[in-house]
């Protein structure tokens, strides 16, 4: 690994270790409940990893695997039952849900105090008001990786490309909380390369392979690539490979620090989910935020 690569796998492993140490020091064992509807292969892998890692750090895990044809009403009922279960600290519904189910409707049912994905309207409101609450995992991972590279982020100009509810918007608020000056750029932004060149921290969350070119990056900037895009690659046995939104070969020589894909932001998503589950378990019992888990 080059010296300017931010090793998301290693940072995630360290965070999981901190989560495990925290759990060992608590008088309760946090419980994470995972709801998976259908048989999407990628979702099966992600949910398998969530269960595996939650158990590895010493949590209890509860799995609700439902067939693809499950009705929206039955998924809602599953969430309500988990809300009502006092032993469950965190609930996540793996996305995407099958097309016949309205994911907003299902997410709205999650008890905000158990919303370890940070996706409910109440969680979003708490974040935008700067009130305590559970924050979305991937944007939290972006902040942790930027701090890993730069330390204090105060006063840095952070440009975020993408305004999605899952990543772009919460990332903007989280970097603002770190006292960054934040610009949110998107598909209608004029002179996007010029805007990006103003960034000390450039976060790309658009889902377009290799869109961000080397000459969009200020020399020495910290580049956080949230994109996980599968592209054809005839030289691979599988016929494909993963690339980010950032043209890594062009960006790497210019950036001061850069996350690779794979092995950058992706592994942080599950580590931050585990962190959120401990935070939820503590908040539900009026325990303070454990020392090792503050950002
Ligand atoms: N309820 C949720 N659903 C989904 C989320 C989420 O945060 N909550 N995010 C994604 C999927 N996801 C976790 O659920 C996730 C995606 C990617 C990774 C990851 O580690 N990626 C690796 C590459 C993996 C590969 O080889 O395919 C990497 O980037 O290094 C972890 C979790 C959508 N759904």
- CB contact at 8 A, 91 and 36: no
Marked catalytic residue, from 18, 89, 94, 156: 94
178: annotated active-site residue: no
For residue 145, the model assigns a pLDDT of 98
Specify the pTM.
0.97
Instruction: Please check whether residues 100 and 157 belong to one and the same domain.
Output: no
Q: Provide the annotated binding site for NADP(+).
A: 162-164, 228
117: annotated active-site residue: yes
Q: What is the pLDDT along the chain (295 residues), one digit of tens a residue?
A: 789 999 999 999 999 999 999 999 999 999 999 999 999 999 999 999 999 999 999 999 999 999 999 999 999 999 999 999 999 999 999 999 999 999 999 999 999 999 999 999 999 999 999 999 999 999 999 999 999 999 999 999 999 999 999 999 999 999 999 999 999 999 999 999 999 999 999 999 999 999 999 999 999 999 999 999 999 999 999 999 999 999 999 999 999 999 999 999 999 999 999 999 999 999 999 999 999 899 9
Instruction: Please check whether residues 251 and 161 belong to one and the same domain.
Output: yes
User: Would 44 be classed as within a structural domain?
Assistant: yes
Nearest CA to 70 out of 87, 46, 93 is that of 93
Residue 101 lies in domain: 27-111
What is the domain count for the chain?
2
Pocket of ligand 1 (CB under 6 A): 46, 92-95, 117, 137-138, 228, 242, 261-263, 266-267, 269-270
CA-CA-CA-CA torsion sign (145, 286, 119, 43): positive
Instruction: Please check whether residues 72 and 176 belong to one and the same domain.
Output: no
Instruction: Please check whether residues 102 and 144 belong to one and the same domain.
Output: no
Instruction: Please check whether residues 55 and 157 belong to one and the same domain.
Output: no
Specify the residue with its C-alpha closest to ligand 1, atom 19: 266
50: annotated active-site residue: yes
Instruction: Please check whether residues 228 and 181 belong to one and the same domain.
Output: yes
Instruction: Please check whether residues 52 and 96 belong to one and the same domain.
Output: yes
- Which CA distances in Å does 145 have to 142, 162, 249? 5, 18, 20
CATH code for the domain of 239: 3.40.50.720
């Amino acid at each position: 690994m080059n010296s300017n690569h931010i090793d998301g796998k290693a940072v995630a492993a360290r965070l999981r270790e901190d989560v495990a140490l925290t759990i060992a020091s608590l008088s309760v064992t946090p419980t994470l409940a995972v709801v998976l509807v259908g048989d999407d292969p990628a979702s099966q892998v992600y949910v398998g990893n969530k269960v595996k890692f939650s158990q590895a750090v010493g949590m209890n895990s509860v799995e609700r695997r439902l067939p693809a044809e499950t009705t929206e009403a039955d998924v809602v009922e599953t969430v309500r039952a988990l809300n009502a279960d006092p032993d469950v600290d965190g609930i996540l519904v793996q996305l995407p849900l099958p097309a016949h189910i309205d994911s907003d409707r299902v997410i709205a049912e999650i008890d905000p105090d158990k919303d370890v994905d940070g996706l409910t309207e109440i969680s979003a409101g708490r974040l935008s008001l700067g009130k305590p609450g559970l924050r979305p995992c991937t944007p939290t991972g972006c902040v942790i990786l930027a701090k890993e590279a730069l330390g204090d982020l105060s006063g840095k100009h952070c440009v975020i490309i993408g305004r999605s509810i899952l990543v772009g918007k919460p990332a903007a608020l989280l970097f603002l909380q770190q006292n960054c000056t934040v610009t949110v750029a998107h598909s209608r932004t004029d002179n996007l390369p010029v805007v990006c060149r103003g960034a000390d921290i450039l976060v790309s969350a658009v889902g377009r392979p290799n869109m961000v070119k080397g000459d969009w990056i200020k020399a020495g900037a910290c580049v956080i690539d949230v994109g996980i895009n599968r592209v054809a690659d005839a030289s691979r046995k599988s016929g494909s490979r993963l690339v980010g939104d950032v043209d890594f070969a062009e960006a790497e020589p210019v950036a001061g620090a850069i996350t690779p894909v794979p092995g950058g932001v992706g592994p942080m998503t599950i580590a931050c989910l585990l962190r959120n589950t401990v935070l939820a378990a503590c908040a539900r019992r009026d325990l303070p935020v454990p020392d090792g888990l503050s950002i």
